[in-house]
Structure formats: structure tokens, C-alpha cells
């Protein structure tokens, strides 16, 4: 199952897995766009492609989708938390969460917890969460997680991407302690030309435009190449729990994926546990693997 799989990195990852025989579930906010994406993938492979309506900014939608998945599938080999967003303007979800942290962290946290038991008995199963090099600029403000004291979209996005890694590492620790076969890993695509930044200011949109790829080849790469980091984290037999994959090098902007390092802050075990506890409190979701 891949969230946000109707376009961009999620679509390319789903297409690649389907072409190699995987039964793929496209979990998307817009059911119509999910159906269109499924038809496009089915046209290029013989694999089974299904869809699931899921809005990660809504706890009600998350619970409905998790219930549907559990009813339809007794086991799950891969859960890829790919969907993400960024809002230039401050917005609050129906649950009272700042939109970016809701979509990028709290939503995936809740959904993963609600379906995790479908992976726990499956040898080789994995939870792959897609992060970003933007986590390097992130800090988690536990006193103002939802930016009530002032909003800057860059800070909100960086905080959410740091949270993705902290969630992955804490989940890995819990899974390993429980002795189950499921592992948690993370990946980042580098800088990718997708529709992700369509709501961003004009300079950002211009820099990511395909017409400028001759000038920005060193800075941006295609969604097909960016999806390889997620795919490697999902299927490479040498992947270990807690690994992080993405373009290598100091900048990690472009390139074929390798095992890379995240910031020291992302490995702060006390902060990981605190974020986990706060995420449980906010979402009302607890996991079948204990601290």
C-alpha cells in the first residue's frame, strides 16, 4: 500500500512495484484521481491495482480507510507512507491540527498504528516513510507544535519531515524490542520535479519547472529517479531496520539512492519518545508494540 500514489513520487513507486508483480493499493485523498492512476498503471502491467480513499488530514477518514483495509486484506507486506504536503498559508484541519504536521506526520502515525497488526506476522514486511533533506532545518517545538504563535511554512514543513524520521527510528526500536519480523525504514528522494510545490511562491515554482532542467540538472531530478530511494527501502534484501536511503553526497540533492545519515537531532531518543507520546495523545491511536 502506498499513500499519495496518484501522482509524483507515489505514482512512480507504485508503477515500478506493479511492473514487477506486486499487488498495489493506491491510497489517495481523491478517489477519482486514484482510479485514473490505477488505470494508467494497469495499462502498463498485469499486476492487480486497487484503490482506497484516504485523507491523512482527517482522523475520521483515516479510521474509515484503516477499517476498509483491514476488512479487505488479512496481511500487508509493505506500507509506504509517501503522501505529504506543504501549505504556504496557515490552515487548521477539522481535528484542530496545523495542516502540515497533520498530513505529513500525525496522519501517517495514526494510519500506521491502525493497520500495523496486518504486517507484524509477515516475514520481510516493512513500513517505509518518505522524508526529506528539509529535515535538516527542522526542530520539533513541543510547546507550539501547531504554530499558534506564528506560522512560517518552511518551518512547518521542516518540522514535519524531522518528525517523519523520529517516528521511523522510534518505531524501529519498538519493533526490534518486540522481536517481530516487521522493520521500519525511511527514504528521501532528493530534490525532485513534481507538482508538490504547485502552491509555493513563484521563484520556487520556477526553479522546479521542467523547462529549466538544463540549468537545474545538478539541483533537481525526475520523479522516476527520485522514487528509486523509496523503492530501494521497500525491496532491497539488505535493508536493515532504522536505515535511511536517499541520494548520497554532502548535499544529497540528486543521484541514485544509497544508505545515508540524517541529523543528530533526528536520533535524539528522548525527543523521539516524547513525539510518540504526543502523537498518541493527539490522534488517540496506540500501537500493538509497547515502549
Three-class SS of 37-77:
HHHHHHCCCCCCEEEEECCCCCHHHHHHHHHHHHHHCCCCC
Say if residue 217 is exposed, middle or buried (CB neighbours under 10 Å; 0-12, 13-18, 19+).
exposed
Q: Is residue 289 part of a domain?
A: no
Q: What is the mean pLDDT of the chain?
A: 92
Q: Is residue 288 part of a domain?
A: no
Mean pLDDT along residues 100-109: 98
Cα separation, 148 vs 136, whole angstroms: 23
Other residues' Cβ atoms within 10 Å of the Cβ of residue 136: 14
pLDDT category of residue 197 using cuts at 50, 70 and 90:
low
106-160, pLDDT tens digit by residue? Answer: 999 999 999 999 999 999 999 999 999 999 999 999 999 999 999 999 999 999 9
Q: Is residue 180 part of a domain?
A: yes
H/E stretch holding 165 reads helix 153-178
Q: Which residues are catalytic?
A: 157
Q: Among residues of the chain, what percentage have pLDDT more than 90?
A: 84
pLDDT category of residue 199 using cuts at 50, 70 and 90:
low
Q: Is residue 226 part of a domain?
A: yes
- Rounded to two decimals, the pTM is 0.91
Say what the pLDDT of residue 291 is: 78
Say what the pLDDT of residue 163 is: 98
Say what the pLDDT of residue 196 is: 53
Say what the pLDDT of residue 218 is: 47
57-77, pLDDT tens digit by residue? Answer: 999 999 999 999 999 999 999
Higher local confidence (pLDDT), 208 or 17: 17
pLDDT category of residue 178 using cuts at 50, 70 and 90:
very high
Distances (CA, A) of 261 to 120, 178, 188, 244: 26, 25, 11, 7
Say what the pLDDT of residue 37 is: 97
Q: Is 157 left (phi over 0), alpha (psi -120 to 50) or beta?
A: alpha
Say what the pLDDT of residue 250 is: 84
User: Which CATH number does the domain housing residue 85 bear?
Assistant: 3.40.50.720
pLDDT category of residue 173 using cuts at 50, 70 and 90:
very high
User: Is the pLDDT confidence value at 168 over 50?
Assistant: yes
C-alpha atoms less than 13 angstroms from C-alpha of 83 in its C-beta half-sphere: 30
Mean pLDDT along residues 81-97: 94
User: Is the pLDDT confidence value at 217 over 50?
Assistant: no
pLDDT category of residue 201 using cuts at 50, 70 and 90:
low
Say what the pLDDT of residue 274 is: 98
Instruction: Report yes or no: 105 and 160 within 8 Å, Cβ to Cβ.
Output: yes
Distances (CA, A) of 254 to 244, 245, 258: 15, 12, 11
User: Is the pLDDT confidence value at 53 over 70?
Assistant: yes
Q: Is residue 291 part of a domain?
A: no
246-290, pLDDT tens digit by residue? Answer: 999 888 899 999 999 999 999 999 999 999 999 999 999 999 998
Say if residue 75 is exposed, middle or buried (CB neighbours under 10 Å; 0-12, 13-18, 19+).
exposed
Q: State the residue range of the domain holding 62.
A: 2-283
Counted domains in the chain: 1
Mean pLDDT along residues 220-241: 95
Instruction: Report yes or no: 272 and 102 within 8 Å, Cβ to Cβ.
Output: no
Instruction: Report yes or no: 18 and 24 within 8 Å, Cβ to Cβ.
Output: yes
Say what the pLDDT of residue 194 is: 65
Amino acid at each position: 500500500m502506498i499513500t499519495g500514489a496518484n501522482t509524483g513520487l507515489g505514482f512512480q513507486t507504485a508503477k515500478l512495484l506493479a511492473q514487477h508483480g506486486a499487488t498495489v493499493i493506491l491510497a489517495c485523498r481523491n478517489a477519482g484521481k486514484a482510479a485514473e492512476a490505477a488505470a494508467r498503471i494497469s495499462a502498463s502491467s498485469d499486476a492487480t491495482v486497487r484503490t482506497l480513499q484516504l485523507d491523512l488530514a482527517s482522523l475520521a477518514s483515516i479510521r474509515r480507510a484503516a477499517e476498509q483495509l483491514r476488512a479487505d486484506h488479512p496481511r500487508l507486506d509493505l506500507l509506504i507512507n509517501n503522501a505529504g504536503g506543504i501549505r504556504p498559508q496557515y490552515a487548521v484541519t477539522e481535528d484542530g491540527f496545523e495542516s502540515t504536521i497533520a498530513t505529513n506526520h500525525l496522519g501517517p502515525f495514526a494510519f500506521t498504528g491502525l493497520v500495523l497488526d496486518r504486517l507484524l506476522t509477515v516475514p520481510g514486511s516493512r513500513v517505509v516513510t518518505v522524508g526529506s533533506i528539509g529535515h535538516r532545518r527542522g526542530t520539533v517545538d513541543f510547546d507550539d507544535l501547531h504554530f499558534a504563535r506564528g506560522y512560517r511554512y518552511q518551518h512547518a514543513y521542516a518540522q514535519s519531515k524531522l518528525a517523519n524520521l523520529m517516528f521511523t527510528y522510534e518505531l524501529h526500536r519498538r519493533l526490534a524490542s518486540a522481536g517481530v519480523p516487521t522493520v521500519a525504514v525511511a527514504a528521501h528522494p532528493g530534490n525532485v520535479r513534481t507538482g508538490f510545490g504547485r502552491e509555493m511562491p513563484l521563484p520556487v515554482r520556477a526553479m522546479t519547472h521542467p523547462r529549466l532542467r538544463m540549468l537545474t540538472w545538478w539541483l533537481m531530478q525526475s520523479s522516476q529517479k527520485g522514487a528509486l530511494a523509496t523503492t530501494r527501502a521497500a525491496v532491497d534484501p539488505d535493508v536493515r531496520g532504522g536505515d535511511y536511503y536517499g541520494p548520497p553526497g554532502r548535499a544529497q540533492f540528486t543521484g541514485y539512492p544509497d544508505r545515508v545519515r540524517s541529523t543528530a537531532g533526528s536520533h535524539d531518543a528522548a525527543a523521539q519518545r516524547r513525539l510518540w507520546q504526543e502523537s498518541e495523545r493527539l490522534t488517540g491511536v496506540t500501537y500493538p508494540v509497547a515502549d
